[in-house]
Amino acid sequence: MIKSILSGWKNYLAKSEVTEAVAKKRAALCAACPHAQQGKLLAFVKDTLKEVEGAYCNQCGCPLSAKVRSNDICPINKW
């Protein structure tokens, strides 16, 4: 999982067009999910996907800005 999250951060920094399109759909699903929480330590992370800015998933603990851009999966199969 760490590898895919690191890949997500790399994708986040690179902002690939295709990955952003997929990430946007995932971010919308995360934004409507009760497991998306705002993280105090992520408050400094700015994101073009405002739906997940500063948020993490409380099911896996991953920062959502990176997770939605990684090859990881949603732990409850929403995407």
Instruction: List interacting residues with ligand SF4 (CB under 6 A).
Output: 29-30, 33, 35-36, 57, 59, 74-76, 78
Amino acid identity of 41?
L
CB of 44: closest distance to ligand SF4 in angstroms? 20
- At 73, is the secondary structure helix, strand, or coil? coil
Q: Rounded CA gap, 32 and 11, in Å? A: 23
Q: Rounded CA gap, 25 and 41, in Å? A: 25
CB of 18: closest distance to ligand SF4 in angstroms? 19
CB of 29: closest distance to ligand SF4 in angstroms? 5
